[in-house]
């Protein structure tokens, strides 16, 4: 049964399965050749894509709790015909996904609200940007790491702080005025909670699910480039939201890759390619783009 408090995650078919070769056929040779290819290979099972370990782990959690605390919707710009191979692969892996949308080439943005989507994970930058612009949490996945071996009994999710869990307010000061001004600003406003960022609600929902699931099953880490001098505002912000994270790393500029290796995240969310790029070689990673009207958008559209 579906819980009212469920986290609804839309996964694109290219995030769930490795469809890179097929996507190249579509982009280089057009819809007709692509459709023929998918039809000829309908019974050839697709390999897992970057979001597969996370989806599999969440569906296992639903089974364990006998409740759909996480609702997965597969969303694709395929049409129902070309989508058959995806459906067959979902059956093959025995993934308990009950909802699907095949939009036949239409951008997915308009359907996210219809399916009550809280989070979109996709490889399509346009779909992700559209979702973000409509204030729906969304992230663009990188290709999956080789030899990723997720924890079997625990779902591990790692979030960046500024411009992901928190708003981009502090990030803008850092970018425009430098590190010293940022530290000074964060000390002055240490007692004032940071505004919620694009993934703030996702964290709150996951936190509720964690408490329903008796802790233990989902482990959440905050991995931020902030240093210890600015940690107070972060901790007080999370406290004011009524959420706790299991682990927090204030790296003061150190690379995030090694921490992620140690934490072994099922997925890592960050707004900056300089963090998600290297991290994606180790754990499945996704970049959270800025809204088009954000002052940060121009600087990091990659
Ligand atoms: Mg950030």
CB neighbours of residue 66 within 10 Å:
7
Q: What tokens appear for 212 in the block?
A: 């329903």
16 C-alpha to center of ligand 1: Å? 25
Q: What contacts 179, CB < 8 A, 6 or more positions away? A: none
3 pLDDT higher than 70: no
164 C-alpha to center of ligand 1: Å? 6
Q: Convert the pLDDT of each residue in 117-161 to its tens digit.
A: 999 999 999 999 999 999 999 999 999 999 899 988 899 999 999
153 C-alpha to center of ligand 1: Å? 29
233 C-alpha to center of ligand 1: Å? 15
Q: What tokens appear for 284 in the block?
A: 């499945």
Percent of the residues in the chain that have a pLDDT greater than 90, as a whole number: 72
Q: Convert the pLDDT of each residue in 216-246 to its tens digit.
A: 689 999 999 988 888 899 999 999 999 989 9
301 pLDDT higher than 50: no
First to last CA, the chain: 40
Q: Convert the pLDDT of each residue in 167-189 to its tens digit.
A: 998 888 988 898 889 889 999 99
Catalytic residues: 160
Q: Let me know: does 102 contact 83? Beta carbons within 8 Å.
A: yes
C-alpha distances in angstroms, 214 versus 64, 94, 217, 218, 253? 12, 26, 7, 9, 34
Ligand 1 (ion): which residues have CB within 5 A?
A: 160, 162-163, 271
User: What domains sit in the chain, N to C, each tagged with a CATH number?
Assistant: 2-141 (3.40.50.1000), 155-300 (3.40.50.1000)
According to the model, what pLDDT value does residue 302 have? 40
According to the model, what pLDDT value does residue 244 have? 86
According to the model, what pLDDT value does residue 276 have? 97
According to the model, what pLDDT value does residue 293 have? 87
Mean pLDDT of the chain: 91
CA gyration radius, the chain? 19
Residue 223 DSSP SS3: strand
Which tops the pLDDT comparison, 89 or 217? Answer: 89
109 C-alpha to center of ligand 1: Å? 24
Mean pLDDT, to the nearest integer, of 49-71? Answer: 91
Does pTM top 0.85 for this prediction? yes
118 C-alpha to center of ligand 1: Å? 20
Mean pLDDT, to the nearest integer, of 89-99? Answer: 94
271 C-alpha to center of ligand 1: Å? 5
C-alpha distances in angstroms, 41 versus 33, 81, 255? 12, 12, 42
According to the model, what pLDDT value does residue 82 have? 87
Element (H, E) at 127: helix 125-133
According to the model, what pLDDT value does residue 215 have? 57
Q: Convert the pLDDT of each residue in 257-280 to its tens digit.
A: 999 999 999 999 999 999 999 999
């Amino acid at each position: 049964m579906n819980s009212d408090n469920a986290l609804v995650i839309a996964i694109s078919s290219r995030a769930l399965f490795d469809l890179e070769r097929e996507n190249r056929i579509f982009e280089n040779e057009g819809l007709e050749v692509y459709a023929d290819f998918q039809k000829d290979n309908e019974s050839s099972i697709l390999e897992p894509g970057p979001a597969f370990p996370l989806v599999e782990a969440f569906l296992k959690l639903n089974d364990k709790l006998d409740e759909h605390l996480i609702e997965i919707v597969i969303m694709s710009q395929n049409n129902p015909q070309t989508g058959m191979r995806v459906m067959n692969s979902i059956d093959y892996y025995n993934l308990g996904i009950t909802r699907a949308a095949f939009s036949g080439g239409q951008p997915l943005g308009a359907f996210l609200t219809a399916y009550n989507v809280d989070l979109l994970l996709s490889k399509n930058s346009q779909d992700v940007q559209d979702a973000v612009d409509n204030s729906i949490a969304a992230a663009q996945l990188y290709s999956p790491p080789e030899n990723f071996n997720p924890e079997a009994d625990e779902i591990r999710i790692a979030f960046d702080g500024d411009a992901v869990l928190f708003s981009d307010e502090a990030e803008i000061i850092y970018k425009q005025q430098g590190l010293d001004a940022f530290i000074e600003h964060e000390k002055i406003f240490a007692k004032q909670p940071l505004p919620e960022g694009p993934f703030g609600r996702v964290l709150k929902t996951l936190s509720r699910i964690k408490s329903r699931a008796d802790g233990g099953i989902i482990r959440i880490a905050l991995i931020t480039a902030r240093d210890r001098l600015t940690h107070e505002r972060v901790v007080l912000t999370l406290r004011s939201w009524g959420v706790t994270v299991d682990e927090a790393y204030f790296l003061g500029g150190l690379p995030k890759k090694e921490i992620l290796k140690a934490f072994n995240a099922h997925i890592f969310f960050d707004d900056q390619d300089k963090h998600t790029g290297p991290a994606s070689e180790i754990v499945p990673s996704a970049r959270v783009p800025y809204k088009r009207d954000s002052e940060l958008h121009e600087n990091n559209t990659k």
